[in-house]
Amino acid sequence: MKNLYLILFLFLATHFNMSAQSDSLGYPEGDQSFTNKELDVKPIFGLGTGSMAYFGDMFRYQGTSPIMGNWGTKLSLGARITNYLDVQFNYTYGWVSYHENTPERSDNFKSTIKTSGLVFTYNFNNFFKQTPTVHPIIILGVESVEFNSKTDLDGDYHYETDLRALDLDNLGNYSLNSFSIPVGIGADIDLVSGFSVRFSSTMHFTFTDNIDNISDKGEGIRQGDSRNDRYLYTGVTLLYTLDKNNKFEDAYDGAYFGDTDDEDLDKVLDISDNCPHTPEGVQVNEFGCPLDRDKDGVPDYMDDEIDSPAGSIVNEKGEALTDEDFNEMYLTYIDSLGLYTNTIATVYTSNESGRKTVHTRRFSDEIFTVQIATSAEDLSIEQIGKILSIPNVKILNESGTIYYLVGDYDELELAIEEKIILEKEGIEGKVIGLEKGERIAVGQIAIEIEEDYLSGVIDMPERSSISDQIIYRVQIGAFTHPLSMNIFDGVGDMIVLKGQDGLTRYLTGSYDNIQQAASRKIDVLLEGFEGAFIVAYRGGKRISLEEAGNVTSNVSPVAQDKVNKSKIRFKVQVGAYKDKIPANIMDQFITIGNVKTVRQSGITRYLVGDYESYDEARSELKNLQTEGFSDAFIIGTFNNKIISVEEATKLLEK
């Protein structure tokens, strides 16, 4: 039985190992082609029947076929975890029987069998580029077994006597429940519309030797062997897989929203695209990620060595690194003279006391800053107050994640000083580099310089990051539902803070006096944000304008989330093109009349209508669909910036 445990452990370990083997671009191992198949979990229902053949102490292979047993039925409910692994809960009901007639003894029994348990089915699909119609399968699981064995003492084929109660071997009131390990093989054949049929043969290795009421505890002719009883289930099961439809449904009558956009036109919708902004013409997989056939982390269209050896480390061009490359990298790291260093040169100077000052010089366009938080974190009111009290805090929006950055330094040591000061004031951070708007790591040298600062080897200037002076900002709004960043395109400098109180706050940059803030407030109001007002911060906390020494009659003391609803409109999008529109499509738009264009994120959208309500736009949509524009859908706009219908509707409810 220990071997069975080992088989089960190896089976599960193999599954999880295979599940973990996906490349850095987000597609599963063994599947490098783009398909429309969903890999989401799908429910599976099954009903089957088969033969249950007994193998135990009475069985002496006297010409009886293993598949010519008694009939049983099976009911299963499960799910497809991946395209190669199913997990199912099986319930089986049937019976096994045997009549032994030998010179040594003449015994018989019939036992009802009820099993329920968890079974894993592996179908090898991860080894096929295209899913086959016929799948060989391996079955392994664990289940509980309930049996009730009786015997025919009168020879009339009526099994009337309970074998446990008969107690022929003085075993007493033994348990009628046990466990078993089902191990089997078979094949699945796909039919149509989610239906498939499974032919399988599964041996159930039980943990009991009492199903036939003969065991090694018996004496004389009733003594059996030490092996537990088992039975073989061979049958056919009809399966139905319920495909999961990721269809967006709500109260808007099934209309398509802006979430159906495909910005990079790779035929994977943006909402499901793991690799947005893929260059035009690049072949992608089902997740929208460029193909990487040699799985070196560099997509094929950027790979100068398309077939890098498996397991090799490559450079940014996908070329396998040689021993000479590694040697040069090592020399770059250890060289104290800067012979191999082309990014930062570091010079230390000593004063009369022997303490050091550090100076760094850059050889690229890289600048240095301190990252203190991201939009993935919900900030406390105290954290928000500290961040907004820092004059030079800004945000970086990178692939939908907002990073909060402090400072913009040409020299690395200045950024390290900023980090140390911020940490003393209760704000954790890390030094990073910025090159062409992208975050990059600064490496080991930053750690070494910081250690010199903290140990006193390098002089630390006396200053603070959180200003004790009054800082003014304009709060655009505090919304319970985060808004799209393109709504704020006209605002310019802006900070977005998601709080633990459920509000997402939108504020402008900092100003030294209230006159500058008041002028900025007027600009924000003209952009349609009617709830904008001036706020003041000092020493890590928000203070009232009265405390700041200003008249408060013309400003709001509380947060508002109002917008100018007259700037919210609904339109119908009839097309979107990255390049020049085809002539035949343009002719169709001319027949509609009054088609306007909006250019946003590199895509030209063709829009019809300008409506105050969603219902008016829906009426126009139905008319256009009747005229043959079946792909048309409704979008929302705020101040002529495209937003989703759902977002426009929420703004109208404010």
Reported as a single tens digit per residue, the pLDDT across 305-330 is 878 788 778 787 778 777 767 666 65
Residue 420 has pLDDT above 70, yes or no: yes
Please give the helix or strand (H or E) that residue 506 lies within, else none.
strand 504-508
Q: So what CATH class is 567-653?
A: alpha beta
Q: What is the pLDDT of residue 259?
A: 62
Banded pLDDT at 24 (limits 50, 70, 90): very low
> Cα separations (Å) of 522 from 41, 273, 626?
52, 39, 45
Residue pair 384/502 in contact (Cβ under 8 Å)? The answer is no
CATH of 471-563, one of 3.40.640.10, 3.40.920.10, 3.40.50.300, 3.30.70.1070: 3.30.70.1070
Count CA within 13 A, CB hemisphere, residue 512. 0
Beta bridge partner(s), residue 99: 108
- CATH architecture of structural domain 35-241: Beta Barrel (2.40)
Residue pair 362/350 in contact (Cβ under 8 Å)? The answer is no
Eight-class DSSP state of 441? -
Residue 638 has pLDDT above 60, yes or no: yes
Q: What is the pLDDT of residue 352?
A: 40
Residue 126 has pLDDT above 80, yes or no: yes
More reliable by pLDDT, 389 or 17: 389
Banded pLDDT at 249 (limits 50, 70, 90): very low
Q: Mean pLDDT in the chain?
A: 78
More reliable by pLDDT, 326 or 216: 216
Q: What is the pLDDT of residue 72?
A: 95
What is the tens place of the pLDDT at every residue in 152-189? 887 777 888 888 888 888 888 899 999 999 999 999 99
Residue matched to tokens 């977005």:
496
Measured CA to CA, the distance from residue 606 to residue 595 in angstroms comes to 6
More reliable by pLDDT, 179 or 245: 179
Measured CA to CA, the distance from residue 331 to residue 340 in angstroms comes to 7
Q: Which amino acid is at 522?
A: I
Banded pLDDT at 236 (limits 50, 70, 90): very high
Residue pair 211/96 in contact (Cβ under 8 Å)? The answer is yes
Residue 37 has pLDDT above 50, yes or no: no
Which of 284, 279, 260 is closest to 271 using CA atoms?
Answer: 260
Banded pLDDT at 90 (limits 50, 70, 90): very high
Residue 102 has pLDDT above 50, yes or no: yes
Please give the helix or strand (H or E) that residue 433 lies within, else none.
strand 430-435
How many CB atoms are located within 10 Å of the residue 517 CB?
24
What angle, rounded to 10 degrees, do the helices at 444-455 and 412-424 form?
Answer: 60
- Long-range contacts (CB closer than 8 Å, 24 or more residues apart) made by 59-64: 59/98, 60/100, 60/102
35-241 and 471-563: same fold? Answer: no
Banded pLDDT at 498 (limits 50, 70, 90): confident
Measured CA to CA, the distance from residue 304 to residue 318 in angstroms comes to 6
Measured CA to CA, the distance from residue 98 to residue 623 in angstroms comes to 74
Q: What is the pLDDT of residue 468?
A: 77
What is the tens place of the pLDDT at every residue in 527-547? 788 778 999 998 888 988 888
Report the pLDDT averaged over residues 395-417: 85
pTM of the model: 0.40
Q: Which of 40-44, 119-123, 384-388, 424-428 has the highest mean pLDDT?
A: 119-123
Q: Which amino acid is at 424?
A: K
Report the pLDDT averaged over residues 411-427: 85
Residue 283 has pLDDT above 90, yes or no: no
Q: What is the pLDDT of residue 239?
A: 94
Count CA within 13 A, CB hemisphere, residue 150. 12
- 3-state SS string over 33-92? CCCCCCCCCEEEEEEEEEEEEEECCCCCCCCCCCCCCEEEEEEEEEEEEECCEEEEEEEE
Please give the helix or strand (H or E) that residue 348 lies within, else none.
strand 344-350
Domain layout of the chain by residue ranges = 35-241, 344-455, 471-563, 567-653
Please give the helix or strand (H or E) that residue 576 lies within, else none.
strand 568-577
Residue pair 182/117 in contact (Cβ under 8 Å)? The answer is yes
The CA-to-CA distance between both ends of the chain, in Å, stands at 66
More reliable by pLDDT, 642 or 38: 642
